[in-house]
A = this chain, B = another copy of it.
Amino acid sequence: MGDAKYDVLGIGNAIVDVLSRTDDAFLAQRGLSKGGMQLIDEAQAQALYADMAPAVEISGGSAANTIAGIASLGGRTAFFGKVRNDQLGDVFAHDIRSLGVTFETAAATMGPATARCLVLVTPDGERTMSTYLGASVGFGPDDVDDAVVAAAQVTYLEGYLWDPQEAKQAFRKAARTARDAGRMVSLSLSDAFCVDRFRGEFRELVRDDVDVLFANEAEIMSLYEVDSFDEAMQIVRKECRLAALTRSAAGCVITRGDEIHVVDAAKVDSVEDTTGAGDLFAAGFLRGLTQDFELTRCAELGALAAAEVISHIGARPEKDLSALAAEHGLV
């Protein structure tokens, strides 16, 4: 692959999460699909926010969370994503840069505000997300710095990029550049509803362009429109070089051709907030993969990072994941 300046480049929507606690009745009243992500416009965001309890603002964004996790595990990382030059944009940029992540995408100087995701956390720790994409929709092919893509061992993309039109073009450009440079392309399917919106295109992508796929049970079953996890797994084994399929407390399954591994979830005392669980699993897994760890060890690192992030509010790790991994004998 040649020398890589970065282990992983992440590309995704640059979002600040606004997290507050609620109950199931509130979700039902609002017609919100528990555990899912819906897109909302600015007026809807204002109306929902007005009804929400006091909140905490923490940097988020699916791929950005993954990159933050890899950085916390000691990996060399970069991120592309679009904020506006406003206070929440400054928060996003500060938080990711302070981890040592290279983040140089120019902030928008006009147009919609920095994207925010209104995250409602129910007592069971499940999160339900309503995202106002804001400035993220301004992310386009011109924001993809080919030199950075070519210098990254893995380019990691979130499925959510398929929602804003320009971002989708940026995704395609980055994937092509990475392939041409002999690098790996990795995709997270993001969300079962997102898969539903773009099933045909995602199937093609997975078959033709993706080296490492991340999906949870609902997403992979939605992708192939099957009713059981096992059926989905049999298909993805044939379609994709390497797939990491997560199943919450039931652990994960890793497939690479004939090779299949079933790895347990890491122990968590109390699940506070599942926001970022999948993102951090991907972080640990990719950190292992870019160090040529065995697949089971990659999965264990992913499980450990996911366990840390669901034990507190917010989708970014609170602990130094390198130290945590060392404690668990994984690095």
* Interface, chain A (partner B; CB < 8 A): 21, 49-50, 52-59, 68, 86-88, 91, 94-96, 98-99, 113-114, 314, 316, 318
Q: List the number of copies, as a whole number.
A: 2
Contact at B56–A314, with CB atoms within 8 Å? Answer: yes
Contact at B59–A58, with CB atoms within 8 Å? Answer: no
Contact at A50–B87, with CB atoms within 8 Å? Answer: no
Q: List, in ascending order, chain B residues with CB within 8 A of A56's CB.
A: 56-58, 314
Contact at B113–A55, with CB atoms within 8 Å? Answer: no
Contact at B86–A52, with CB atoms within 8 Å? Answer: no
Knowing A86-B87, A87-B88, A87-B113, the reply to whether A98 touches B52 (Cβ < 8 A) is: yes
Question: Which residue from B52, B54, B86 sits with its C-beta under 8 Å from A316?
Answer: B54
Question: Which residue from B55, B87, B88, B98 sits with its C-beta under 8 Å from A94?
Answer: B55
What are 18 A-B contacts with C-beta separation under 8 Å? A21-B318, A50-B94, A50-B98, A52-B98, A53-B98, A54-B94, A54-B98, A55-B91, A55-B94, A56-B56, A56-B57, A56-B314, A57-B91, A86-B86, A86-B87, A87-B88, A87-B113, A87-B114
